[in-house]
A and B are shown apart, each in its own frame.
Chain A
Amino acid sequence: MIDFVQNTLDGVMIGSSYALLALGFTLIFGVMRRLNLSYGPTIMIGAYLGTLLHVDAGAGAAAVAAATVLGAALAGVYVERLCFAPMAAGAGIASMVSSFAIWMQLEQAAILVLPRHTYAFPPLAAGAPLTLGPFLVRLDHATMLIAAAALATGVYLVLHRTRFGLGLRAIVGNPVAAHLVGVDVRLSTLAAFALASAVGGVAGYLVLAVDQQVTPMFGMWATFKGLIAMMLGGLGSIPGAILGGLLLGAIEAHAQWYFGPHIRDLVTFAVLFLVLVLRPTGLIGEAPPAEAAAYGRA
């Protein structure tokens, strides 16, 4: 029983970073109705920028965090301009494939700048683990959970308490109608893309600071973890993204504990497959009305 609770606790803490990854993904998908496969690699560009500062200039944790988030946002803007803004409304698959091509490009650019397989990444919070009765909580895990919760709340407030957020929600509902009532759809979309990439940047920073190392596999890892968490919770739903992320973390922690890393991934994909087949809208998502239209036609 103690093991079970401890695993759940660990899983949820790791899962908070997945939740942030899914949150950024779902923001982009909600506004665009298109899949940005380059999402992970844009985060990786930020992380590599931070690592470069750390390796070359000995920058500390704060500067590395800022560089990671800023770099991810800028790379996100690049992807939006090249793969999403120029495509017509019906060209969802073209955008997706284009973002895949840019994935290859960003990954190679990162490897050119920092060619070694692993680089050290500055840790987040060092110190003895906290004890809660019989349970242990790593300090950096706790920091990660708190930062993730704060950021998710912040994104929620931006979406629901600001004019910009209102405009975004109008675009999610119906882009043409939003344009007609005076929302600058192109600019808002670009800003949402940058915001989502920055949220992903924070998630990436937290994960890497806990791992204390970065590898070129990180882009792919982030894309797929975010994608899985988003689909588990429900496409285009913020509470869904959070729930999906936390659940994915918990599932992984338990499966790892009982069966080891190989079966862990098998279990994750089996759960994802079953959730999609049995409950296609994800655990708490609603079927977005325009989704079928955007993807039904290439």
Chain B
Amino acid sequence: MDDHWVGVLSNIGVMSFLALSAYLLLLTGEISFGQQAFFAIGAYAAGIGTALWGWPLAAALGWAALAGAAAAVLVGLPTLRLHGLYFAIATLAFAEMVRILFEMWRYQVPIDGELLGPDGADGFRGIRYVFESNIEPSQYLAIIYALLGAVLLGFLLLERSRLGVSLRMIGEDPELAELNGIPVKRCKVLAAGLAGSLAGVGGGLYAHLTTYVEPRTFDVMLGVHSLAYGLIGGLGTALGPVIGVAIDISVLESVRMFAGYRMIVFGGLVALLLIWRPRGLLDETVVHALKARLRSACRCVWMSARVGETRR
């Protein structure tokens, strides 16, 4: 695989964490314009972990997840009382506050005769752990996708669990869920915390992928993009947001021939797609149909295997 595609795939993997973070809240029916804040917090936390405190990558990523989750729960407690647009705008306000604070925050430590650390609007340079530990880009790609695979497995288990059903139920109708004895508030805060930790890990991976983060990357556009990914790929399964990211990044990368018309084509295609499928490519109906077909196919195989056994 050449370096170009390793880069593209790494980007898709890292952005998937952010898209999954927004998707998890969408399941509970909440739109967040602010998941990029936890992505930013994770990026800074992990960068500080390896570059300034000399931690190994795993510890730094764990710390990024923790920081993202803690921040998300802290914001979630007052804001999750709100609904719909009110919640969306409150998260937007919070995320912009975080971005501006990062633009003002300086915390620099001399490491090997060089000042490292967050330097306000100039960003945080020199997160070189991956390079210094002689991890090849393709190995780092494997790390990203191993973690992403674990997260997707987690989503698969979640969808089959009581909690997953509760979350979707809250998304359908919070009052009905409450009446059925589901602790709506607690579930939502839990979902927000998990979403925050996902974004945090994604941010940590992002910081080590680019070796350099700057606050203006984490603006509202990033947040709205991460929300859009779920709707493009589909809200029926956790694979949806990942597909959404892959479509966006790979289409944008490959359709260079459109040059200046890239966004005109892509924006129009997304708008048409959403008319055709308002809940994305892999929406709930498609996912159910696929599952049913898979199940009957499995049953066929199993039955024919048993038939074979009895004949023998």
A contact residues vs B (CB 8 Å cutoff): 29, 35, 37, 82-83, 86-88, 91, 93-98, 100-109, 111-112, 220, 224, 227-228, 231, 235, 262, 265-266, 269-270, 272-273, 276-277, 280, 291-292, 294-298
Do A105 and B83 have beta carbons less than 8 Å apart? no
Q: Which among B29, B89, B171, B231 has the highest number of chain A CB atoms within 10 Å?
A: B89
Indicate which residue in A98, A104, A272 contacts B93 across the interface (CB closer than 8 Å).
A272
With A272-B93, A273-B94, A296-B174 already in contact, the answer to whether A105 and B264 are too (CB < 8 A) is yes
Known contacts A112-B260, A270-B97, A296-B84; A94/B231 CB under 8 A: yes
Q: Which residues of B contact A101 (CB under 8 A)?
A: 228, 266-268, 270-271, 274
What is the bound-complex CA distance between A32 and B97, given in angstroms?
A: 29
Q: Which of B78, B227, B231 has the most CB of A within 10 A?
A: B231
| Min CB–CB distance B299 → chain A (angstroms) | 32
For the complex of A and B, 5 pairs with smallest distance between CB atoms: A295-B84, A105-B267, A101-B270, A94-B278, A108-B263
Known: A235-B85, A296-B174, A298-B171. A103 touches B26 (CB 8 A): no
Stretch at the interface among B98-106, B149-157, B159-167, B193-201: B98-106
Residues of B within 8 A of A82 (CB): 271, 275
A112-B261, A266-B97, A272-B90 are known contacts; what are 12 more A-B pairs with Cβ within 8 Å? Answer: A37-B224, A91-B279, A94-B278, A97-B231, A101-B271, A102-B271, A107-B263, A112-B260, A262-B104, A269-B93, A269-B96, A270-B93
The main secondary structure of chain A at its interface with chain B is helix
B84-A276 in contact (CB<8A): no
Task: Report the separation of the CA atoms of residues A109 and B263 in the bound assembly, to the nearest whole angstrom.
Answer: 9
Shortest CB–CB separation between residue B97 and chain A, in angstroms? 5
- From B171, B173, B220, B235, A224 is in contact (CB under 8 Å) with B220
Taking a contact as CB atoms under 8 Å apart, the answer to whether A102 and B267 are in contact is yes
Is the contact region of chain B dominated by helix, strand, or loop, or is it mixed? helix
* Closest chain A residue to B260, Cβ basis: A112
Q: Chain B residues in contact with chain A, CB under 8 A?
A: 26, 29, 31, 78-79, 81-86, 88-90, 93-94, 96-97, 100-101, 103-104, 171-174, 220-221, 224, 227-228, 231-232, 235, 260-264, 266-268, 270-271, 274-275, 278-279
Structural contact, B270 and A291, CB atoms closer than 8 A: no
Contact of A297 among B81, B171, B232, B268 (CB under 8 A): B171
Task: Please determine whether A269 and B97 come into contact, CB atoms closer than 8 angstroms.
Answer: yes
Contact A276 B271 (CB under 8 A): no
Q: Assess the B84–A105 pair: CB atoms within 8 A.
A: no
Closest to A107 in B: B263
A277 and B100 contacting across the interface, CB-CB below 8 Å? no
Given A97-B231, A108-B261, CB of A295 within 8 Å of CB of B220? no
**Residues of B close to A94: CB separation below 8 A:** 231, 274, 278-279
Contact with B271, one of A29, A83, A112, A273 (Cβ below 8 angstroms): A83
22 A-B contacts (beta carbon < 8 Å): A83-B271, A83-B274, A91-B274, A97-B231, A97-B274, A98-B271, A100-B224, A104-B267, A108-B260, A227-B89, A228-B93, A235-B85, A269-B97, A270-B97, A272-B93, A276-B79, A276-B93, A277-B78, A291-B84, A292-B83, A294-B84, A296-B174
